[in-house]
Amino acid sequence: MTTPMEKYHLTRLERVKKTLTDHFFHATIHQTLGQAEDYLIETIVPELAPNSAGFGGSATLGASKLVARLSAITGLTVIDRNDPSLTPEKRNELSRQTLLTDLFVCSSNAVTVDGELVNTDKLGNRVAALSYGPKKVALLVGRNKICNDVHQAISRIRNVATPANAIRLGHDTPCSKTAKCHDCQAPNRLCCTTVITHRSTPPGRVHVLLINEELGF
């Protein structure tokens, strides 16, 4: 029997799927991260037939097996800028290379119920790829990323996603100590560039895989 909260989450996901679709995104709903992974591997990859794939920084992606699964596909060149053994210089060079991949996989900091994506980066490589470059962008988005509007989305990024990421990365920023944005001047500040994606251009280029689980930050 479906509980009231399960019905609530599904209703909210269905609403977001519709508004994203109305805004020319491709949107699908998946019950688990594993099911979203399977869809990407079994549907998106065969349809796109990519020669190359790259990734943005993402705790959701890190919880998945997609990097290994994509790396196992014969003929697909995978650019993994998230390898912890990379030097900062090499990571930056690979980040530049991902802008010209056929498939770019990451998450979104927030998705509004009105069908907009809101993302904040330090260097801007992820929002750059989301905006232009890769032929196809696939976003793995947990239900916890859904916000009522852009204002709430930005507040969520500043006071939830960024402090959590600063803690994860070991960055000595004010938000890592207080779990609250201080609009700081720290040299390793993570929130430097914010992009709101109102529509997918060309239509269907950005595919949002909505997942009925709490994932990432």
Predicted TM-score of the model (pTM):
0.95
pLDDT of residue 135: 98
Q: Provide mean pLDDT across the span 90-112.
A: 96
Higher pLDDT: 124 or 1? It is: 124
pLDDT of residue 126: 95
Terminal C-alpha separation, the chain = 29
- When the candidates are 3.30.300, 2.40.50, 3.30.70, 3.40.50, the CATH number that belongs to 4-147+193-211 is 3.40.50
Percent of the chain with pLDDT over 90: 94
d(CA 55, CA 48): 16
* Phi, psi angles (nearest 5°) of residue 42: -90, -20
pLDDT of residue 1: 77
Mean pLDDT of the chain: 96
Please report which helix (H) or strand (E) contains residue 70, including its range: helix 66-71
How does residue 81 score in pLDDT terms, banded at 50, 70 and 90?
confident
Residue 202 pLDDT > 90, yes or no?
yes
Residue 114 pLDDT > 90, yes or no?
yes
Q: Where are the beta strands (DSSP E) in the chain?
A: 26-30, 52-55, 77-79, 103-106, 110-112, 117-121, 136-142, 146-147, 193-197, 206-211
CA Rg value for the chain: 17
Query: What is the CA 205 to chain-centroid distance, rounded?
Result: 14
Number of H-type helices and E-type strands within the chain: 10, 10
* Phi, psi angles (nearest 5°) of residue 4: -55, -40
Residue 82 pLDDT > 90, yes or no?
no
* Phi, psi angles (nearest 5°) of residue 149: -160, 180
Q: Provide mean pLDDT across the span 175-193.
A: 95
The label of the residue with tokens 């994932």 reads: 215
Q: Provide mean pLDDT across the span 181-199.
A: 95
Report pLDDT digits (tens) over 128-177. 999 999 999 999 999 999 999 999 999 999 999 999 999 998 999 999 99
216 CB-side CA count, 13 A: 28
Report pLDDT digits (tens) over 49-71. 999 999 998 999 999 999 999 99
pLDDT of residue 2: 87
